């Protein structure tokens, strides 16, 4: 905050992220219900306190009619949120396509999809075009709410084009951009057809932040190798203009998790879980159902454990909370079927009349139920194949208190 020039509560902060911290569900023509969105960005930013902040983003639903848009805008205003309305076509091209099918796998070292390796494919071009249009739509909403002196904090790979839109509108806007995923080595990043345009846009920000020093270094070396710009200890310099680049590891508001366990609802959940799994050790996985989280690998490792240690059958249970995500993207649909198939096979193989070894849930839990689960669990498994700052490990430790369970943390997770 200090480096962005934010001096305290009096200064306003506009957070801009693809997703709002709440997701909306329509209950009637002008009725909406809101629930907290899943994911690390939301979990991390809920910990930002003592600033006058508003959040601009997509509410995760298509709202084609004006009545619905107005009602949702009003409902969100109570949460200090401002919606950006994206239609189905743009969501398909920008979010499912360019963000989730191109940038996400590339930034997690999974490479570009086969058909997009050539910049000339029409698919790629129309998705990149939609990406820029969507970023411009976020920028338009920022202009409507911006007041002189506001600090604008743009988030993630969805909005790499936004710093440029904002600075072209008003060069005096204070703009930060933070990436919640890895930034890959320049050898990987340079395979992206739109590499230069995106880097140049991000460099329009005053301050660019990453989870780790390595990602910041990868970004600076991409600017040097691809754009021929000079990297300095402070950041990247282009014709006398310096963009500061630095590492800001995110965390969680651990007190929020500890406090949740003092509430009666959470205590009830804890007691129920203890009774339900009495006499068995509980292992837990909490992930969005994403290929980078290593969920099939985790479940297969559990199968191997039972195979090699049959004395543990019936004495240990794996609870996997797999929050559905990006369900319109074919890769994610395939992953869901694959996980279901493996879980079914293992439960068929090692289940008994009284118990199954794996409880797999395709949904999120309410906050108190989740904290209770973290509190009673003996082992938490974070098995990411590549990840940004995985916050489940922090949440687990925050809820364990004096229990001191075991955290098994992937060595490619950023905490290590
Ligand atoms: O980690 C990057 C990120 O954008 C986080 O904000 C969040 O954990 C996740 O991806 C959310 O993904 P989506 O909004 O696509 O469900």
pLDDT, mean of residues 103-108: 95
pLDDT per position as a tens digit, 365-410? 999 999 999 999 999 999 999 998 889 999 999 999 888 899 999 9
pLDDT computed for residue 10 by the predictor: 63
Q: Taking a C-beta distance cutoff of 8 angstroms, is the pair 284, 294 a contact?
A: no
pLDDT computed for residue 121 by the predictor: 61
- Ligand 1 centroid to Cα of residue 248, in Å, is 18
Q: Is the dihedral of CA 335, 130, 21, 162 positive or negative?
A: positive
Q: Taking a C-beta distance cutoff of 8 angstroms, is the pair 392, 293 a contact?
A: no
> Looking at the DSSP assignment, which residues form a beta bridge with residue 317?
282
ipTM of the complex: 0.95
Q: Taking a C-beta distance cutoff of 8 angstroms, is the pair 68, 33 a contact?
A: no
241-255, 278-292, 333-347: lowest mean pLDDT where?
Answer: 241-255
What does the angle CA 151 – CA 141 – CA 130 come to, to the nearest 5 degrees?
115
* Burial grade of 308 (CB within 10 A; 0-12, 13-18, 19 or more): exposed
5 CB contacts (<8 Å, ≥6 apart)? 151, 174, 206
pLDDT computed for residue 35 by the predictor: 85
**b/e string for 339-371 if b means 16 or more Cβ within 10 A?**
beebbeebeeebeeeeebbbbbeeebeeebbbb
d(CA 252, CA 371): 13
pLDDT computed for residue 416 by the predictor: 55
Q: Is the dihedral of CA 374, 377, 380, 381 positive or negative?
A: negative
Ligand 1 atom 11, closest CA: 39
Asked whether the predicted pLDDT for residue 312 surpasses 90, the reply is: yes
pLDDT per position as a tens digit, 85-103? 999 999 999 999 999 999 9
- Ligand 1 centroid to Cα of residue 187, in Å, is 24
pLDDT above 70 covers a percentage of the chain that reads 94
Ligand 1 atom 7, closest CA: 39
pLDDT, mean of residues 171-196: 96
> DSSP readout, 347-368?
HHHH--SS--SEEEESS---HH
Asked whether the predicted pLDDT for residue 2 surpasses 80, the reply is: no
Hey, which of 21, 40, 291 would you mutate to test ligand 1's pocket, going by the most ligand atoms within 8 Å of its Cβ?
A: 40
- Ligand 1 centroid to Cα of residue 351, in Å, is 34
Q: Taking a C-beta distance cutoff of 8 angstroms, is the pair 375, 403 a contact?
A: yes
Around ligand 1, the residues with Cβ closer than 6 Å are: 19, 39-41, 156, 180-181, 325-326, 388
Ligand 1 atom 12, closest CA: 39
For 88, the enclosing helix (H) or strand (E) is: helix 88-90
Hey, which of 16, 41, 210 would you mutate to test ligand 1's pocket, going by the most ligand atoms within 8 Å of its Cβ?
A: 41
pTM exceeds cut of 0.80: yes
Q: Taking a C-beta distance cutoff of 8 angstroms, is the pair 34, 57 a contact?
A: no
Ligand 1 atom 2, closest CA: 180
- Ligand 1 centroid to Cα of residue 357, in Å, is 29
pLDDT per position as a tens digit, 4-53? 555 555 678 999 999 999 989 899 888 999 988 877 777 777 767 777 88
Ligand 1 atom 14, closest CA: 19
E strands, 192-323, where?
207-210, 230-232, 235-238, 241-247, 281-288, 316-323
- Ligand 1 centroid to Cα of residue 352, in Å, is 37
Report which ligand 1 atom has the smallest distance to the Cα of 157. Answer: 4
pLDDT above 90 covers a percentage of the chain that reads 78
Report residue 272 as tokens: 């129920």
- Ligand 1 centroid to Cα of residue 39, in Å, is 5
Report which ligand 1 atom has the smallest distance to the Cα of 39. Answer: 8
Report residue 388 as tokens: 């940004």
pLDDT per position as a tens digit, 348-362? 999 998 899 999 999
**b/e string for 112-122 if b means 16 or more Cβ within 10 A?**
bbeebeeeeee
Report which ligand 1 atom has the smallest distance to the Cα of 388. Answer: 1
Q: Taking a C-beta distance cutoff of 8 angstroms, is the pair 331, 44 a contact?
A: no
Asked whether the predicted pLDDT for residue 306 surpasses 70, the reply is: yes
Average pLDDT of every residue of the chain:
92
Residue with tokens 């590891």: 249
- Ligand 1 centroid to Cα of residue 292, in Å, is 12
Report which ligand 1 atom has the smallest distance to the Cα of 40. Answer: 8
Beta strand 406-409 pairing with 174-178: unpaired
d(CA 117, CA 191): 8
Q: Is the dihedral of CA 122, 123, 126, 131 positive or negative?
A: negative
The alpha carbon of 179 is separated from its chain's Cα centroid by a whole number of angstroms, namely 10
The alpha carbon of 279 is separated from its chain's Cα centroid by a whole number of angstroms, namely 35
Q: What's the order of all strands across the beta sheet hosting 235-238?
A: 81-84, 52-58, 12-19, 151-155, 174-178, 207-210, 241-247, 235-238, 230-232
**Would you say how long the chain is, in residues?**
416
């Amino acid at each position: 905050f200090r480096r962005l020039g934010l001096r305290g509560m009096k200064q306003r902060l506009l957070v801009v992220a693809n997703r709002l911290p709440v997701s909306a569900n329509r209950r009637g023509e002008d009725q909406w219900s809101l629930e907290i969105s899943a994911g690390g960005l939301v979990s991390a930013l809920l910990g930002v306190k003592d600033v006058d902040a508003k959040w601009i983003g997509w509410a995760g639903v298509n709202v084609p009619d004006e009545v619905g848009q107005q009602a949702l805008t009003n409902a969100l205003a109570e949460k200090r949120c401002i919606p950006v309305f994206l239609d189905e076509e743009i969501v398909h091209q920008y979010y499912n396509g360019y963000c989730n099918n191109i940038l996400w796998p590339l930034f997690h070292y999974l490479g570009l999809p086969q058909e997009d390796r050539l910049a000339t494919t029409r698919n790629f071009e129309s998705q990149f075009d939609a990406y820029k249009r969507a970023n411009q739509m976020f920028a338009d909403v920022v202009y409507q709410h911006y007041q002189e002196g506001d600090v604008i904090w743009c988030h993630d790979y969805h909005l790499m084009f936004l710093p440029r839109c904002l600075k072209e509108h008003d060069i005096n806007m204070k703009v930060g951009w933070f990436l919640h995923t890895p930034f890959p080595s320049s050898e990987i990043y340079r395979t992206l057809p739109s590499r230069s345009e995106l880097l140049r846009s991000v460099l329009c920000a005053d301050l660019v932040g990453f989870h780790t020093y390595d990602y910041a270094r990868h970004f600076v070396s991409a600017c040097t190798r691809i754009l021929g710009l000079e990297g300095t200890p402070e950041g990247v310099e282009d014709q006398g203009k310096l963009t500061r680049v630095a590492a800001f590891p995110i965390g969680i508001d651990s007190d929020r998790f500890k406090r949740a366990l003092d509430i009666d609802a959470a205590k009830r959940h804890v007691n129920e879980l203890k009774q339900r799994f009495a006499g068995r050790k509980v292992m837990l996985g909490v992930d969005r159902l994403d290929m980078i989280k290593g969920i099939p690998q985790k479940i297969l490792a559990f199968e191997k454990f039972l195979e090699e240690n049959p004395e543990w059958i019936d004495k240990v249970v794996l609870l996997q909370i797999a929050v559905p995500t990006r369900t319109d993207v074919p890769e994610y649909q395939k992953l869901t079927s694959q996980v279901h198939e493996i879980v079914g096979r293992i439960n068929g193989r090692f289940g008994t009349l009284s118990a199954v070894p794996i409880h797999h849930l395709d949904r999120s839990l309410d906050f108190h139920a989740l904290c209770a689960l973290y509190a009673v669990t003996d082992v938490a498994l974070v098995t990411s194949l590549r990840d940004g700052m995985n916050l489940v490990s922090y949440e687990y430790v925050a809820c364990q208190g004096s229990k001191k369970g075991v955290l098994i943390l992937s060595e490619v997770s950023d905490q290590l």
